[in-house]
Chain A
């Protein structure tokens, strides 16, 4: 095997993975507000939306904004909001129950800071 073949093979393998992922379905990217105040929140939010249909998720603590790329065929935006509520985070569309909120770690109680 020479270097050209090595590179070719690697790229081919790569392409295979990518095409299986990328061309299977259309992806939509959107951003919305999610309440959260610390890095623990950030980790929790990003982990919660690590589900089938979600391609990438990046939570920005400064702007309290979650930027998410997902496939509408596999998951709806409402479902994403619902998932976030379940782990205790309010979003701009829906609010979590007190019970869900109470399960948050002490440092993540964002409602205590909400009056700004």
Chain B
């Protein structure tokens, strides 16, 4: 039964906990009703009920659809339905407004009682709904970005998917590689836990480049949860959790193709297709190729604007759902990356007199998730997740060479059950994590082996519709750093139907990888001084959120106000305050980031949505030279997005328009002799504030066929001298890592999407 998958999801992220809890109870009700077996026929049938005043009533008009297809029916006046079998699907999706949707494998005529409640995670949204959703009832502060929203930022991978989101910032790591890094709550993306299909991913060696390894076109949706995460996914979340769900065999498209090209000579191709192999097994294969063979220097600094590249990613996933109890997902992922950049005439093979950067990486990943739902009255379930990753990279930048391999194994086993009643839920589990790093930066050896064994318990208590809570505690024994305790607490209280107040507190840990966490610094001739290859970071995060949904001028609007504080009690300071040097040492003193954000969203006209956001960030660290604002971190940020779409025609064709304007305030810059920016009274250098504009127009010709045309950095704002000593790249002062604004000017792109349903 598909509630199996729920089993794993429950285990993985607390935010899904409540939804899944309700789904479990639905499954429970379902299981407690004897299933009538009917003779094998081409028809499927069943009855859908709801509880009203303690009485079971037939539910007319409930929608019953074959999962992953558009064919289905609705129930009649008694709540009964009949439906022809479908070749491509054996799972039914049962939904009705105001009730929790249920997805289940069809195995003979059945009766099902839907449970009342607000749908938090839309299963199949037919009517128009905002593509960036906030949730009032979930105790975690979650934002969902679905595939429609992702299409607005058409290019091209996860690092570039947050362009239309006000909570996550993306900026370039350096002026050479075109790599983007993200920031959440004013801190680097390495302090957010990134999950791929609920399994920790993009960590260790791939902390920076990993965001580029997930093609945007593969993503079905992204859940962003600010603040402390769930203990079930580990101890590594400090500022938040980002879960990226990749299209699986249930994603409602049979095959999909995407072609993209931009002015910089970057061409990308994505394709995915699914098959139903047997009654139990289905599979999806996804492919991605990214090629750039054009040397371009539009900003005239003698260096290529974007790297020459040949990158490939392949993924194959199998999904198993059998009988009532079992469900499994098994995936393998292969990646190959080959990029070179640097001075215009630099060749891949290297050149003695020209500065160049060459990156080669490959990665193989395998994951297995299996779930089992027990046939008891407690809604108990059991889940396991195993994942393995082998990553190796070599990066030669000028005269420096970094090489590294990472072998990671992770196992997580968990059990979920309700206690006494559905009001109380408990998940307990154990995790084993093994990280084996083999790293070298020139003569600096950074090898490290880590083995972490831990256990956790997470208790959910939902005494009323007004209040819900999640309390989690985990303890891990680390082979280098000893015992780590990570408590987490989430509370949600609804002041009214439209206003909810959430609070979160929790602690997270991570092991720093000084070089790979700060890849951009290799695009310089700074000399490294690393205190130790094994250093731990830990931080407490406290947060408050208030979300208010209301109407202005008869149309939906919302305001979300956030305040978050991250305080490090152990941190690894990456100090590049002194020119020509990078020093990595353990924090003595304080390091923190406090942020406050206000986001307003409103459907200003029909089919026209606007979002306006402002964020204040204050992040300071005690460096060896004294306390200072963290560099490249604007104190003020503004965000404005407007999206308009025309009415759909008979064939579901329409136009879509989207524009995002970002204001990026002044950023403190580390001291450098060659700085050309303005200085404040106290002698500190700051970059000027600037505006950035992105826009996109999509034309949907008919359902499934779409072309898009867009422009990035339409205001053509560029950082003036992005490379220090670019004319003398082998001198100690050469530095292309001090980036605070776009390096390239306006960039146009064009793409096509073709989907078969």
Contact = CB atoms under 8 A, between A and B. Distances in A.
B691 A1 contact: yes
A61 B61 contact: yes
Contact of A43 (B126, B603, B612, B661): B126
B725 interface: no
A38 B167 CA distance: 35
Interface string A1-35: 11100110011001001100110000101000000
A18 B690 CA distance: 27
Nearest to A110: B61
B126 to A, nearest CB: 5
B554 A38 contact: no
A43 B691 CA distance: 38
A85 B640 CA distance: 40
B76 A113 contact: yes
A107 B61 CA distance: 9
B482 to A, nearest CB: 44
A55 B554 CA distance: 7
B688 to A, nearest CB: 9
Given A3-B638, A40-B126, 19 more contacts: A3-B665, A3-B689, A7-B638, A10-B640, A14-B604, A18-B553, A21-B553, A27-B553, A27-B554, A42-B127, A43-B126, A47-B647, A50-B606, A50-B647, A55-B606, A56-B603, A106-B73, A107-B73, A113-B77
A115 B78 CA distance: 11
18 contacts: A1-B689, A3-B614, A10-B661, A11-B612, A14-B604, A18-B553, A18-B604, A29-B554, A37-B61, A37-B74, A39-B63, A39-B95, A42-B97, A47-B647, A50-B606, A50-B607, A61-B98, A62-B97
B76 A112 contact: yes
A17 B612 CA distance: 14
Interface string B696-728: 000000000000000000000000000000000
Interface of B: 60-61, 63, 72-74, 76-77, 95-98, 126-128, 553-556, 603-607, 610, 612, 614, 636, 638, 640, 647-648, 661, 663, 665, 689-691
Contacts of B663: 1, 3, 6
A84 B304 CA distance: 59
Contacts of B612: 10-11, 14
A97 to B, nearest CB: 20
A37 B60 contact: yes
Interface of A: 1-3, 6-7, 10-11, 14, 17-18, 21-22, 27, 29, 37-40, 42-43, 46-47, 50, 54-56, 60-62, 69, 106-108, 110, 112-113, 115-116
A6 B648 CA distance: 34
A38 B614 contact: no
B74 A3 contact: no
A19 B111 CA distance: 53
Contacts of B126: 39-40, 42-43
Contacts of A42: 97, 126-127
A51 to B, nearest CB: 9
B551 to A, nearest CB: 8
Nearest to A27: B554
Contacts of B72: 107
Given A47-B648, A50-B607, A115 B77 contact: yes
Nearest to B602: A14
Nearest to A68: B554
User: Which of A3, A17, A18, A108 has the largest number of chain B CB atoms within 10 A?
Assistant: A3
Given A6-B663, A7-B614, A38-B61, A61 B97 contact: yes
A46 B127 contact: yes
B186 to A, nearest CB: 15
Contact of A14 (B73, B610, B636, B638): B610
A30 to B, nearest CB: 11
A39 to B, nearest CB: 5
A7 to B, nearest CB: 6
Nearest to B61: A37
Nearest 4 CB-CB pairs, A to B? A69-B554, A37-B61, A3-B636, A6-B663
A48 to B, nearest CB: 10
Contacts of A43: 126-128
A107 B691 CA distance: 50
A106 B127 CA distance: 18
Contact of A107 (B74, B638, B690): B74
A14 B61 CA distance: 40
A45 to B, nearest CB: 9
Contacts of A1: 663, 689-691
B74 A38 contact: yes
Contacts of B554: 27, 29, 55-56, 69
Contacts of A2: 636, 665, 689
Contacts of B614: 3, 7
A26 B73 CA distance: 41
Contacts of B61: 37-38, 61, 110, 113
A32 to B, nearest CB: 16
A38 B64 CA distance: 10
Contacts of A21: 553, 604-605
A45 B745 CA distance: 45
A7 B639 CA distance: 9
A54 B648 CA distance: 17
Contacts of B691: 1, 6
Contacts of A39: 63, 95, 97, 126-127
A101 to B, nearest CB: 16
A96 B95 CA distance: 27
B638 A55 contact: no
A21 B554 CA distance: 12
Contacts of A113: 60-61, 76-77
Contacts of A17: 604-605
Nearest to B554: A69
A22 B605 CA distance: 10
A52 B343 CA distance: 57
A98 B95 CA distance: 28
A81 to B, nearest CB: 19
- B74, B603, B647: residue with the most chain A Cβ atoms closer than 10 Å: B74
Contacts of B556: 56
A82 B661 CA distance: 42
A28 to B, nearest CB: 10
Most chain-B CB neighbours within 10 Å: which of A11, A56, A62, A116? A56
A62 B665 CA distance: 48
Nearest to A112: B76
B205 to A, nearest CB: 37
Contacts of B689: 1-3
Nearest to A13: B640
B133 to A, nearest CB: 17
Contacts of A50: 606-607, 647
B757 to A, nearest CB: 16
Nearest to B72: A107
A22 B661 CA distance: 24
